[in-house]
Amino acid sequence: MSPRTAEHMTWHQSHHAVDGVMVHPSDGEAWKHFNSMHPHFSAESRNVRLGLCTDRFNPFGSFAAPYSCWPVILTVYNLPPGMCMRPEFMFLSMVIPGPSSPGRNIDVCLRPLIDELTQLWSSGALTYDISRK
């Protein structure tokens, strides 16, 4: 990560929300609840907070035979709103192939990713903060 990007990784902590206006997930009740449930994690603003997103699309166009792919994307929520949804900060973690929706079995497809994220949560990963040297 570049020094310029790294300095934005703590934006969520220094950002001051306006009451009743949500411009970033850090303004929401879920973020605050997470902080209260995991004070050791939230005490370090450089700890990476990830969002998991998925949605269906037909890679052959809307007029082709029914088929669906489900990309699973991790987004970095530490970054400011203008950065966290930019493609360079969204990570394609896996693609769940069709021909149809995984439906209730999506948890089976996501299991390897969830296991890896759980291991990362438990063990952590040492990194170097280039912005603070």
77-119: pLDDT as tens digits = 999 988 988 999 999 999 998 888 888 888 999 999 999 999 9
CA gap 133, 118 in Å, rounded: 28
Sheet with 50-54, side-by-side order of all strands: 50-54, 70-76, 90-96
Within the chain, residue ranges assigned H as helices are 3-6, 11-14, 29-37, 39-42, 81-84, 106-123
What is residue 77's predicted lDDT score, i.e. its pLDDT? 92
Percentage above 70 pLDDT, the chain: 96
| Mean pLDDT, residues 59-88 | 86
**Is the CB of residue 54 less than 8 Å from the CB of residue 73?**
yes
First to last CA, the chain: 13
Max avg pLDDT among 4-18, 53-67, 69-83:
69-83
